Amino acid sequence: MRMQELSQGFVMGALSRDHETVDHLLAEVLRATLAAAPERAEVALRELLSQITRHMDFEERILFPVYESATLQEAGQGPTALLRSEHARIRTALGEMTRALGAGSLPALSRAACELEAILPGHNVREERVLHRVVDRVLGPLGALVLAARLMPRAEGNPPWLEGPVRPGP
């Protein structure tokens, strides 16, 4: 564990690293379209879909509800409502990218990838500046560590202590 991650907090560290990975994969899709390399674009898009889907599922199932609970915010209101609506736009762009690749149209893939590229920076900054800090603070170091550990991809299932509900600390 790097000192920077410790100082940033476990949730911020793990989720911010995911954001960087997704940015790199999206850039690779765009590079592949510019290079007219459909096989390369497909490999990058497949990995992008896997990473970003896992990441958004985690946020919607665990991170957002923890934030809403900690701040007594109703689901459908506040920052998480905007973030959920941005996830819907991200999924739309991903669907367009998948369809474009399936149709063999690299220009259409590039256009849809640019749409995604326009959404992600603001979305990620909003999550990092608002949600991650609050969630790290309310869970405390151990709760945040458990939450961050749930993000780690693994070949086998989680141990039982990672599967239970995560609740804000006192």
- For Fe ion, the binding residues (CB under 5 A) are 59, 127
Lookup result for tokens 């999206």: 26
**Whole-number Å distance between alpha carbons of 131 and 16:** 12
Nearer to Fe ion, 84 or 137 (CB): 84
- Shortest Cβ distance from residue 22 to Fe ion (Å)? 8
The count of residues in the chain is: 170
Q: Considering beta carbons, is residue 57 or 142 the nearer one to Fe ion?
A: 57
Pick the closer one to Fe ion by CB: 58 or 105: 58
CA distance 57 to 50: 11
Minimum CB separation of residue 94 from Fe ion in Å reads 13
- At closest approach, how far in Å is the CB of 124 from Fe ion? 6
The DSSP code for 77 is S
Minimum Å distance from CB 34 to Fe ion?
26
Q: And the tokens for 165?
A: 């509900």
Q: Which is nearer to Fe ion, 60 or 96 (CB)?
A: 60
Residues in CB range of 120: below 8 A, 6 or more apart? 19, 22, 23, 26, 90
